[in-house]
Structure 1
Amino acid sequence: MQLIALLIGIIILLVLIIKFKINTFVSLVLTAVITAIILGMPLGKIADSITNGIGSQLGELSMVFGFGAMLGRLVSDSGGAYIIANTLIKRFGKQRLQIAVMIASFILGIALFFEVGMVLLVPIVFAIAVEAGVPILYLGIPMAAALSVTHGFLPPHPAPVAIAQVLGANDGRVLLFGFIIAIIAAYIAGPLFSRVARKFIPDAFKAKGNLSSIGEIKHFSPEESPSFGLSVLTALFPVILLAIATIYTMAINDGVTPKHPSMLDSIVEFIGSPSIAMLISLFFAMWTMGWGRKRSTAQIMESLESAVKSIAMLLLIIGGGGAFKQVLIDGGVGKEVAKIFLGSSISPLILGWLVAVVLRIALGSATVASLTAAGIVAPLMAQSGVDPALMVLAIGAGSLAASHVNDAGFWMFREYFDLTVKQTLETWTVLESVISVIGIILVMILNLLFH
């Protein structure tokens, strides 16, 4: 019953958006209500489930998104994004732009959550694409692929770290094997896949992107722009703060938060929180891209306000996705999926991947899918003899598969690159699935080599 309700819910959502052109946020919330009723949830609890879903999705994310958009707008309005774009184009050349974007996104993605990386990188990708005269999606796909693989495979991201704890895996081995898988998967799902996609869905590559979300890209002379180094430092400041916190925790406290933290531990944990890191970075940007360049406070505030206005609907859409996800979880869809796989005799690595794939498709959240899958396969680990680090990566690969209408990343990609739902399914959903399939293939190869 739960799986039928899920299928009906997804069909309703697609019909509302594609057929009737209903606003995405309204469609998501309406679908969540209808799906909750079909799942048999008590009518009095449906509103609480939807509210909790929106709240949990937008809690810290709203601050991270807001501050990230403001920082990006300041870098853009001051000429910082333009100078970064120009310098990258000159150094890498038009032929190697995709590789340049992928490497930059990969480095950023190691320290940043997927959503934060997207907010910071999209303005730069747009600027580079416009300057180089290439389709925005041509660079957007390598960017998204690089951010996605770091999110799914590499500590210190929440899912790999949490699964490693559940399964008793060594973080160092997860990171080592994860790097091998992530680099190969990012290249195949990024530059290689974008070339195939451009042949089969050329219309998607004609999209100009949702420039309203980051503002108009202006052109600046080198004299009136900040230096390349200062622009990069400002754009990467959140990464630097988060990286400091991560390296400190792993080096000083073996990656574990101490029960009795010292003052230094507390300070590092404070600046390592994504929302605080973004707040500190925003004030740094207000100086380097604002007051330090003789811009008035009024001009700086104008940039901040326009940035917030541009992401309002995007935030609502992500919240709506959270509502739909919460209804599916509260309605018992996750438990129903778990029952299907219990007692199966297939390889634990394939089983972990499959469970994560089904949960990802059903629930949308990669983190929820991976943690639930880890709980299901954990009892099999002792008797199977499988390296726990490879199981972490198998589940991580499965949790990235087939991102669709119940995943916030799907709507972010659609909004930023101004695609139709169909085009997003053909690009973003396929991209994520390619990463997932390449991931499990490489996990099985590593299992043969190191078993």
Structure 2
Amino acid sequence: MPLFIVLMGVILLLILMIKFKLNGFISLIFVALVVGLAEGMTPAKTITSIQNGVGGTLGSLALILGFGAMFGELIADSGAAQRISRSLINKFGIKRIQWAVVLTGFIVGIAMFYEVGFVLLIPLVFTIAEFAELPLLYIGIPMAAALSVTHGFLPPHPGPVAIATIYGASVSMTLIYGIIIAIPTVIVAGPVLTKFTKKFDHKANKNLFKTEIVSEEEMPSFSASVLTAIIPPILMAFSAICEMTLAKTSQLRQFAEFIGSPLMAMFISVVVAIFTLGIMRGKKMEDVMKSVAKAASGIAMILLIVAGGGALKQVLIDSGVGKYIATIMSGTNISPLILAWTIAAILRLSLGSATVAAMTTAGIVLPMISSSSVNPALMVLATGAGSLIFSHVNDPGFWMFKEYFGLSISETMKSWSTLETIISVMGLIGVLVINALI
């Protein structure tokens, strides 16, 4: 019966979001209320559980995601992303242009949300394709693949960080494993896939992007841009290496864990970016702070959706569903990694939103972590991979890709949806391989 109520709650979530087009946060809170009451919780206890879920989730994530958004905005507004992409393209040359775009997507993508990175790099994609007389998708697919991989697998993106927080996983280890999986995945989903999409190329709708181009004189140097952009992954990777090689009592390890924690890594990155991409280039502090304020206001809905997922998760735990699932799972041979991927994939196909799919899955499969020996960091990546599968007409990213590249719905499915599915399936394979080796 408890699982039947959860199933009905998920179906209700699908109906609210798909049929009635209700906002994801409102839908999650409403479903959390319904599930809590249906599971036998009192109204007062249900409300308390939702409040604790929202507070517990945002308490650890609001600062991380806020600093992450500010960091990405500073990189975009300063022209650092533009400098990185131009310099890499000049260094790689036309013959290896796809690898330049992939590397640009990785560097830019790890510092900002997918949609922001996509809109920021689209003018670059059009410019390269026109200048080099190359098919648009030949450049666009590697860029989109790199951004999507960083969005699904690599902290400090909101999805991986939020799931890691719920699962109690090491964000640093999630980053290390995520990079191992991301490299082969982006090669197949990017440059390799373009060999099969040549016939889909059309003239793009250039009226869709209005990105401000920063002049050569205003852009920061390549070294300053790259070194600033990669501060978060460097700090987190340093923490992970110390965690694997040094004793817990080591002062170096304790220091590395401090500066490599998601909160401190993003805070340090923002402080450095304010100076390297702002003050040191002659900008006034007031102008730099405008970018910071714009970024903070732009992530409000993402924070609320993540909070809604946290509320549903807490209701599932407090109502006893978590223990019930753990009891059932103790007698099954199904891998929690495969189960997490499958649930996230089903929700992604139904809901469209990767964030909602991942957060809902996290609440359902959380008990499996404590009742099994599964690695929490790999559970994060399995959930993230499942939440990316086959983006289609209920996903805003689908329409963004379709319109910018001037494709039909069928062509978008054969290119973009295929790209996302490759990332999802290869993500699962990578997780299972790493799990078998560690």
TM-score scaled by length of structure 2: 0.70
Change (3 A) 1:370 1:322: closer
1:295 positional shift = 0.8
Match of 2:429 in 1: 438
RMSD of aligned alpha carbons: 4.8
Give the Cα separation in 2 of the matches to 1:416 and 1:80.
27
Q: In structure 2, what residue type is equivalent to 1:130? A: P
Match of 2:272 in 1: 284
1:191 positional shift = 5.2
Match of 1:252 in 2: 246
Q: In structure 1, what residue type is equivalent to 2:227? A: L
1:235 aligns with 2:229: yes
CA distances 1:253-285 after superposition (whole Å, capped 9, x unpaired):
3xxx32xx64x5544332122112211211111
Change (3 A) 1:324 1:339: same
1:221 positional shift = 2.1
* Aligned 8 A contact 1:403 1:428 in 2: no
Q: SS of the counterpart of 1:317?
A: helix
Give the Cα separation in 2 of the matches to 1:197 and 1:328.
44
Change (3 A) 1:192 1:396: farther
1:236 positional shift = 1.3
Give the Cα separation in 1 of the matches to 2:241 and 2:81.
28
Comparing 89-98 with 10-19, greater Cα deviation is found at 89-98
For residues 19-418 of structure 1, the aligned pairs below 5 Å read: 19-92=19-92, 99-100=99-100, 102=102, 117=110, 119=112, 123-133=116-126, 134=136, 139-146=143-150, 148-149=152-153, 183-189=183-189, 217-253=211-247, 257-258=248-249, 262=251, 264-344=252-332, 351-357=335-341, 364-365=358-359, 372-378=367-373, 398-400=382-384, 402-403=386-387
1:197 positional shift = 9.5
Match of 1:384 in 2: none
1:293 positional shift = 1.1
* Aligned 8 A contact 1:355 1:373 in 2: no
Match of 1:168 in 2: none
Q: In structure 2, what residue type is equivalent to 1:296? A: K
Length, aligned pairs only:
392
1:306 positional shift = 1.2
Comparing 219-228 with 11-20, greater Cα deviation is found at 11-20
Match of 2:405 in 1: none
Give the Cα separation in 2 of the matches to 1:321 and 1:239.
26
Comparing 66-75 with 141-150, greater Cα deviation is found at 141-150
Change (3 A) 1:57 1:287: same
Give the Cα separation in 1 of the matches to 2:33 and 2:145.
33
1:106 positional shift = 6.4
* Aligned 8 A contact 1:141 1:194 in 2: no
Q: What are the ranges of 5 or more consecutive residues in structure 1 without an aligned counterpart?
A: 109-115, 165-170, 379-387
* Aligned 8 A contact 1:32 1:50 in 2: yes
Give the Cα separation in 2 of the matches to 1:16 and 1:293.
49
Match of 1:8 in 2: 8
Q: SS of the counterpart of 1:222?
A: coil
Q: In structure 2, what residue type is equivalent to 1:140? A: A
Give the Cα separation in 2 of the matches to 1:162 and 1:392.
7
* Aligned 8 A contact 1:143 1:190 in 2: no
Q: What are the ranges of 5 or more consecutive residues in structure 2 without an aligned counterpart?
A: 127-135, 348-356, 403-408
Q: SS of the counterpart of 1:41?
A: coil
Give the Cα separation in 1 of the matches to 2:211 and 2:381.
36
Change (3 A) 1:292 1:4: same
Change (3 A) 1:393 1:238: closer
Give the Cα separation in 2 of the matches to 1:281 and 1:226.
16
Give the Cα separation in 1 of the matches to 2:294 and 2:380.
37
* Aligned 8 A contact 1:186 1:435 in 2: no
* Aligned 8 A contact 2:232 2:269 in 1: yes
Change (3 A) 1:335 1:252: closer
CA distances 1:381-425 after superposition (whole Å, capped 9, x unpaired):
xxxxxxx9xx889867754453289xxx99xx95798689x9999
